[in-house]
Amino acid sequence: MGHAAGLAALGYHSAMLSLRQLAEALQAEYVPCSMPAGQEGSPQTESVERVASARNATQTSLTFAENEATLREALASAAAAVLVTRQVAEAFLSEVKPLKKPLLLVAQPRLAFAKAAQYLQAAKASTGVHRTAILASSVKLAEDVSIGAYAVLGEHVEVGARTRIGAGCVLADGVKIGVDCTLYPRVVIYSGVELRDRVQVHAGCVLGSDGFGYVRDAETGAYTQFPQQGTLVIEEDVEIGANTTIDRGALEETRIARGTKLDNLVHIGHNVRVGRNVVMAAQTGISGSSTVGDGAILGGQVGIGEHAEIGEGVILGGGAGVLSKKKLRGAGMVFWGRPAQPLREYLKGLATLARLTRLPRKAKD
């Protein structure tokens, strides 16, 4: 069974685009094949329906190359066309002619490849509401919404057009979901949380649970929960990895801004504000009331204390630890270690430590 037929059997609609349509969408320069049609080695089609590596490409696949070696491999593959930079293409074609496949010339082939995948991404037809799903009478569903088996939607939940809610999801009262969102199985969203358009939430996430905030009685040592009555807002084009948890605000809101990508097993505490286009790797934890600026990059297992401030564009290496109320600033600046410090200082410290561990041995000699 071919790719398109296999998708159809699963209920998907595959997008097929001509190379010129794709070039227009990607703002790429289209360079046609210079071999006569029908000649051995010439492309069999001027349309594509999927992206693929050169090794796995078929006659309806688009692939990409970032240097002369990978361009040579791509041109020898079955792919219909290749995304590549003008510089690489010109250097290669000055030695190799004729051109066996059409080229799409772009500034960033890998980025264009990812965007092409989205344009060509198969869209699954709406399956409607599964017979075992439970919906309150006040739920509002836009057109082409899909709701999986045993999902539960509370009072006054609103779901936007073409959104898909997987099996076993629970949306509490007052949750609002935008258009073209995807909730994978067993996502739990507490009351009053808002997800805007094109948000993807992977399996097992919990969004809007109570923050970890307690007041200690100085006399008895007993703890009383501080009110956790704020909300959580997830802006457009955010992706949240599996089993990630994000707390609601205490008295105000927790907010994840547009375009941010969270890996699996991330925890974000109450009142945290994460800026636009932040990327955050697995097992990172952010304590309450901290902020992460636009474009910041957080490696795996980063720990951030409460009321800390991570500036725009800051890069935190894997395992970095940021103390409470600490401010790290400097776009493009890399911080590493526990506590986090500029990379140069961190490496100096390691070098000094290495020298100290060698001193006793030299003394013996």
Q: Are residues 146 and 103 located together in one domain of the fold?
A: no
Task: Provide the pLDDT confidence category of residue 93 given band limits of 50, 70 and 90.
Answer: confident
The CATH number linked to 204 is 2.160.10.10
| Angstrom distances, CA of residue 299 to CA of 245, 276, 318 | 17, 17, 4
Same domain, 97 and 144: no
Kindly report the CATH number assigned to the domain that includes residue 58: 3.40.1390.10
Q: Is residue 51 part of a domain?
A: yes
Provide DSSP, 202-238: -TT-EEEEPPS-EEE-TTT--EEEPP---EEEE-TT-
Residues 135 and 262 reside in one and the same domain: yes
133-167 tens-digit pLDDT = 999 999 999 999 999 999 999 999 999 999 999 99
Edge-first strand order for the sheet with 334-336 is 146-147, 164-165, 182-183, 200-201, 239-240, 261-262, 279-280, 297-298, 315-316, 334-336, 341-342
Whether residues 10 and 104 fall in one domain: yes
The reply to whether 176 and 107 lie within a common domain is: no
Residues 6+ apart with CB under 8 A from 362: none
267 is catalytic: no
User: Is residue 356 domain-resident?
Assistant: no
pLDDT beyond 70 at 37: no
Give a yes or no: residue 353 inside a domain: no
Domain that holds residue 84: 3-123
Task: Classify residue 27 as left (phi > 0), alpha (psi -120 to 50) or beta.
Answer: left
pTM of this structure? 0.85
Q: How far is CA 121 from the centre of its chain?
A: 16
Q: Which of these is catalytic: 3, 130, 267, 270? A: 270
Domain membership of residue 216 (yes or no) is yes
Number of domains observed in the structure of the chain? 2
Regarding whether 287 and 153 lie in a shared domain, the answer is: yes
68 within some domain: yes
**Domain presence at residue 108:** yes
Residue 101: inside a domain: yes
Residue 264 lies in a domain: yes
pLDDT tens figures, 105-117: 999 999 999 999 9
* Helical H segments across 77-160, by residue range: 86-93, 109-120
Same domain, 40 and 151: no
pLDDT tens digits for range 123-136: 667 789 999 999 99
pLDDT of residue 275: 98
